[in-house]
Amino acid sequence: MTTDTRPKGASVQFEYQGKTVTVTGISKGSGMIMPNMATMLGYVATDAEVEPNLLQRLLSHASDRSFNRITVDGDTSTNDACILVATGQSGVEITDLEPVLMERFTQALDQVMLSLAHAIVKDGEGATKFVEVRVEKAGSTEEALKVAYTIAHSPLVKTALFASDPNWGRILACVGRAGVHELDVSDVQIWLDEVCIVDKGARATSYTEEQGQEVMNRENICIRVILNRGGFADQVWTTDLSHDYVTINAEYRS
């Protein structure tokens, strides 16, 4: 298992016309985790019958919303794989001609793969926190992801997360340097869970350090950035950066 500390698996079942369809997966990964999957392995199998081209389309769609939305350390490896196998043993065929069945299967696949992706982040090397970075009201999906990844990859933000330090300046600095064209920082809001820490591009007048500290002491945290530029939103999931991450990668030689 290299630096993984625990196995990762997920399974979902649903009924269709008296038959049970199962989607089950396992994954491996802890370090060198960044979109395009990176030093992770994902194996998902279903007993539904799915034509190969459709199976590839469903896998690509689900991967983009799960494994390609996680980052532990921003370090992309060339060694990764995500495989989806359909055995057809259930006797249920998934096709575009059955939209209701297709939707149920897609939801099951998404649920399994997102669960596996989240498990990789939670088992990230040295991780003590599971962090969602969500960007809302962006001008485009690409813009939302650009801001989200800039925050998620920032060593200063990640070390502040490890220290449970509600350092709103580090997060706002990431928004400012993310490369968003003609960004008006005075429109930006930033929230830590239910606490608004930045409003109109500056420290929120209602914010207190005690509020921020209470959120940062949690193991699961959402950093929510509102750009007020459009109607697009997206998110990535990441970890903090701890002493243990440095120790693991200083002492482990692949």
The CB density around residue 4, as the number of other CB atoms within 10 Å, is 18
| CA neighbours closer than 13 Å in the CB half-sphere of residue 241 | 17
Name beta bridge partners: 24.
11, 45
Q: How far apart are CA 155 and CA 142, in angstroms?
A: 22
Cα distances from 246 to residues 102, 120, 159, 242, in angstroms, run 44, 18, 12, 7
Q: Which residues are annotated as a binding site for substrate?
A: 2, 28, 39, 125, 249, 254
Catalytic annotation present for 39: yes
Q: What is the DSSP pairing of strand 41-46 with strand 81-86?
A: parallel
Q: Which of 39, 46, 71, 239 is catalytic?
A: 39
Per-residue b/e over 72-88, b at no fewer than 16 CB within 10 Å? bbbeebeebebebebee
Q: How far apart are CA 196 and CA 122, in angstroms?
A: 25
Query: What Rg value do the Cα atoms of the chain yield, rounded?
Result: 20
Tokens of 30: 């802890």
Q: What are the residue numbers of the active site?
A: 39
